[in-house]
Structure 1
Amino acid sequence: MVGDDGPVLGGAVEEGTAIPAAVVAVAAGVEVRPVWRNAFGGLTFELVGAPERRFLKWAPAGSGRDLAAEAVRLAWAAPFTAVPTVLDQGGDGAGSWLLTAGLPGRNAVEARWLADPGRAVRAVGVGLRALHDALPVAGCPFSWSVSDRRAAAAAVATTPAQRRLVDDLGDPPPPDLLVVCHGDACVPNTLLTDDGTCSGHVDLGALGVADRWADLAVATWSTVWNYGPGWETVLLDAYGVAPDDDRTAYYRRLWRLGP
């Protein structure tokens, strides 16, 4: 997402970050290693030493992140594409949690991929196209439409700048192609194996039907945040689509309201 003054990004977890009590309880004595903090204060942990690779997401109460909704979306998408398998889900007064099996690979902004952005960006573009091609629009029960997103943003807009963003958005361009969008196609949510192949996607809590440019506008934008300028066309070429300045600009404005 993007705040009033620019992009609000996730990243590495600071040393000494407190581990929520629910995470300790679910881990049941297995060591937990913090691996990611998202823009909303949520944390992701790897369960080190578990019989199989596992990850535990935690979202604090009041963050606006609904891990129960993500669990439902992951279960729906799993027959069609590589996403984490849901093992358990729950919550308490402090927040909610989601336990999943790990996928092969690591996220596309680990150090080795920051040092090889061309290869990483191409894999992200190929992986996003594969996701869009695999997930069936017909029968998808989830929406990520402009109208739904605007309504959600208007309901939580608390500052004049946020309300102005909602009011000034305007009507969307005609859809280019409706697909089941990832909903947060920033490059860290693509996993890559050591050979530079996309091995799956994570963080699908907003997955739903929308114009493919709702994902593409954000995916290309996130290459700038993570790798620097010059990689947007590389991603589009790998995806297999020509640049579309109007749709890109519109869906980036919409992203400023929140995923």
Structure 2
Amino acid sequence: MSIPVMPVVVPPRVRELARGAALECVWQNDLGGLTLRATPQYGEPFFIKWGPRHDESTMRDEAERMQWAGRWARVPQVLSHGEDATEEWLVTAALAGDSAVSPYWRERPETAVRAVGEALRAWHDALPVEECPWDWGVAARIDAAEQRGIRVPESLRTPPPVDQLVVAHADACCPNTLLDTDGRWLAHVDLGQMGTADRWADLAVAAMSTEWNYGPGWDDTLIAAYGIAPDPARQAYYRALWNAT
């Protein structure tokens, strides 16, 4: 996943959804998906997330999760979503913030990393586990991976004991936290697999993603901002599970 450095071909569906608004691609993923900011001549900007259909999760799933999570946490408002046999799309209202890995925040890693850690703690504290209808625990993740034809190593089939059960973001990498202009966390995006899990399922991946986005040496800063001590065993396990599934 990355911020595009070259112009992208805008799919016809996206142009239809944009209704004449100016388009800027702000993100593209490894599955061919795009996220574009649409700025109409009149009215408020909005975002269009588009991609080919795939088996891991759907934008219908994401829209449902966003609408549920928005009862307790700051997430973009869903304006519309849809799908056909080959593609899917999700339209959301814009929020007045930037990704924690925008060029501006990449140059200010300490502020960004701390904000991501604080945002993840606020997310885990806010969302009620007992009301969450989705599961992102180890067994569910392994089962979903194997349904996609992925062979998960035996060493990952026995996880560490759960430290604390939370409603996990399930893609808590740094790009999925938005920051305001002062470097405070603002909102969360990309909730397609959100579900209940040990908090280290999120924390381990969020900390790991600091190296991808800011360089080495920031993982402990994120965990400290979350408010707990590192847990090397759980971090190693959930990083390995992420990479395997």
- TM-score after normalising by structure 2: 0.95
- Residue 132 of structure 2 corresponds to residue 132 of structure 1: no
1:135-154 to 2 correspondences below 5 Å? 135-154=127-146
Q: Which runs of 5+ in 2 are unaligned?
A: none
What is the aligned residue count? 244
Q: Which residue of 2 aligns with 1:26?
A: 17
1:1-259 to 2 correspondences below 5 Å? 10-49=1-40, 51-62=43-54, 64-157=56-149, 162-163=150-151, 165-258=152-245
Question: Percentage identity across aligned positions?
Answer: 48
CA distance in 1, matches of 2:108, 2:32: 28
Moved over 3 A (4+): 62-65, 165-168
Whether the 8 Å CA contact 2:57–2:193 is kept in 1: the answer is no
Whether the 8 Å CA contact 1:123–1:238 is kept in 2: the answer is yes
Q: 1:155 offset after TM fit, Å?
A: 1.4
Aligned AA for 1:31?
Answer: A
Aligned AA for 1:93?
Answer: A
CA distance in 1, matches of 2:90, 2:50: 7
Range with greater deviation from structure 2 (130-139 or 47-56): 47-56
Aligned AA for 2:146?
Answer: A
Whether the 8 Å CA contact 2:48–2:90 is kept in 1: the answer is yes
Q: What does the per-residue CA deviation read over 1:57-77, in whole Å, with 9 as the maximum and x for residues that have no partner?
A: 012123644000000000000
For residue 44 of structure 1, give the secondary structure of its aligned residue in structure 2.
strand
- Flag the 1:28–1:198 CA change in 2: closer, same or farther, 3 A: same
Q: What does the per-residue CA deviation read over 1:141-197, in whole Å, with 9 as the maximum and x for residues that have no partner?
A: 11101001000111113xxxx52x443423000100000010100000000111010
Q: What does the per-residue CA deviation read over 1:72-106, in whole Å, with 9 as the maximum and x for residues that have no partner?
A: 00000001010011000002233100000112210
Aligned AA for 1:71?
Answer: A
Q: 1:27 offset after TM fit, Å?
A: 1.1
CA distance in 2, matches of 1:63, 1:170: 22
User: CA RMSD, aligned part only?
Assistant: 1.3
For residue 256 of structure 1, give the secondary structure of its aligned residue in structure 2.
helix
- TM-score after normalising by structure 1: 0.90
Whether the 8 Å CA contact 1:180–1:208 is kept in 2: the answer is yes
CA distance in 2, matches of 1:40, 1:126: 29
